[in-house]
Amino acid sequence: MIADLAFKNVFVHTEHGMVKAGVAVKAGKIIAIANDEYLPEAKEVIDGKGQHLLPGGVDPHVHFRDPSKNERETFMTGSMAAAAGGVTTVCEHPISMPPPYSPELLKRRIEIADRQSLVDFAFFGAAGADKLAEIPKVAQESIIAFKTFFHEPPEGRDKEFTGLTMANDAKIFEGFQAVAKTGKILAIHAENNDIISSLIKKLRAQSKVSGINHAESRPPVSEIESVAKVLCLAEATGARVQLCHISTGEAAELVKQAKSRGQEVYLETCPHYLLLNEQALEKFGPYAKCNPPLRKQVIVDELWKYVQDGTVDLIGSDHGPFLTEEKETGYKDIFIAPAGFPGIDLRLPLMLTAVKQGKLTLERVIELISTNPAKIYGLYPQKGAIRIGADADFVLVDLEKEFVVDRKKGYSKSSDIARVYDGWTLTGLPMMTTVRGKIVMKDGIVSEENEAWGQLVSPKI
């Protein structure tokens, strides 16, 4: 047998540890992991030069906006940014216009991604209290989970949140019951909207509308209370839940305790909650605005403990593209500017830098950004691991390579707003990305010729 592609002279990170070996690929699948001399002959051979071959990243939290907001991002540009950062599968969250709260709307988004994406993709369905009847229908489609928000639509973004929110406790309870019946995971943006709305009103009345006031409007208790509510209602309804982008150790502790009681709950955080603090809001204003907000350094340090002890299951980018002019509105009033910034291309390098700094191991990073997301959403063993029969999704990284982040070189349409890491020196550079055996990034260059190579992936359970 002649393989299509082989990597030789690499350190391969398998589920059983790192081995100095090579990998062979045929028809998009891994067919051999062996010493170089025992690999089959291949049409194309990559000399890895002693670099590290990791399973391709599975980003569990991505917003590409298309359709209707494709001036911010498209599946084409977003997936190019993904490939640049070693992400081979993106899990697209349902903020769109309108969100995919029905099978028809979901299929429209899948068709758009299928025409554009360079990397493989999976979808969350929208779960809203105003569209309860649609939840069992969407559950029959190729989704990996549902997503909901505990608040009214943000100012000026009503159409992006139709069928996506559960705005009071009664509606939340009904929504949890509906999703629980489907057996699907419900991912939740957990913040207490009543606390936040009241604080924003008070801060505005005092003309406190600068960047740091965003953090003041969403104190840790707004997250902690909401997470407690999620765990209570999930236990009562039997819902499987995932807490998105958790920013506090106290909320993580509640999840840890729930897990110890046997409750099925998963916890995600993001690089910005581990590597930035609220001082970024003072420096960058609306360009550092995200929800939940960046926290004080003491809270950041506490959150790291739950990454290190295994409580945190996932690290997603929460890639949030917007236009510069949309962000600029926040200099007049921080509460008007949209929350979020791009980051899909930096998730892996940021975490590799944390490895270099001794904050966690490379094996733990692989779990957090690849294997665990694939397992939680039913994409494993097709995704998330280098093993025989799995998709040949790889990222070849130089763990010692230093580089300076330059937002102007980003592939995202919204790279201009990616300012919080601009100028940082990181250690650990993705050199090559392959999706099902096809090279989609080499030496930092992503080719548009690979448009539409990506395929829909759906749960195997």
Q: The tokens 């790889």 sit on which residue?
A: 394
300 SS3 class = helix
- Model-wide pTM > 0.75: yes
- What pLDDT, on the 0 to 100 scale, is given for residue 66? 85
Pairing between strand 240-243 and 185-189? parallel
Q: What are the helix and strand counts (H, E) for the chain? A: 15, 16
Q: Residue 381, preceding bond cis, omega within 30 degrees? A: yes
Give the pair of three-digit tokens for residue 19.
């081995």
162 neighbors 214 (Cβ within 8 angstroms): no
Within 10 A of 325 (CB to CB), how many other CB atoms are there?
8
Q: The tokens 């990284």 sit on which residue?
A: 397
Dump pLDDT digits (tens) for 204-246.
Answer: 999 999 999 999 999 999 999 999 999 999 999 999 999 999 9
Q: Which of 117, 219, 12 is nearest to 436 (CA)?
A: 117
* Eight-class DSSP state of 92: E
Q: Which of 420, 421, 402, 386 is nearest to 13 (CA)?
A: 386
Dump pLDDT digits (tens) for 283-338.
Answer: 999 999 999 999 999 999 999 999 999 999 999 999 999 999 999 999 999 999 99
Q: Using CA atoms, how far apart are residues 113 and 82, in angstroms rounded to an integer?
A: 14
Dump pLDDT digits (tens) for 411-460.
Answer: 999 999 999 999 999 999 999 999 999 999 999 999 999 999 999 999 97
CATH architecture of 3-54+388-411+421-448: Roll (2.30)
Q: Does domain 59-376 have CATH number 3.20.20.140?
A: yes
27 SS3 class = coil
- What pLDDT, on the 0 to 100 scale, is given for residue 283? 98
Dump pLDDT digits (tens) for 129-157.
Answer: 999 999 999 999 999 999 999 977 777 77
What's the mean pLDDT when you consider all of the chain?
96
pLDDT of 123 > 90? The answer is yes
- What pLDDT, on the 0 to 100 scale, is given for residue 393? 98
Dump pLDDT digits (tens) for 50-100.
Answer: 999 999 999 999 999 888 889 999 999 999 999 999 999 999 999 888 899
The band of 167, judged by pLDDT with boundaries at 50, 70 and 90, is confident
DSSP E strand stretches across 235-276: 240-243, 265-269
Judged on CB neighbours under 10 Å (0-12, 13-18, 19+), 64 is buried
The lowest-confidence range among 3-7, 16-20, 68-72 is: 68-72
- What pLDDT, on the 0 to 100 scale, is given for residue 225? 98
Q: Which of 353, 456, 335, 461 is nearest to 92 (CA)?
A: 456
Q: State the span(s) of the chain assigned CATH 3.20.20.140.
A: 59-376
Alpha helices in 357-435 (DSSP H): 362-366, 372-376
Q: State the span(s) of the chain assigned CATH 2.30.40.10.
A: 3-54+388-411+421-448
More confident residue, 1 or 302: 302
184 neighbors 143 (Cβ within 8 angstroms): yes
The band of 461, judged by pLDDT with boundaries at 50, 70 and 90, is low
Dump pLDDT digits (tens) for 246-255.
Answer: 999 999 999 9
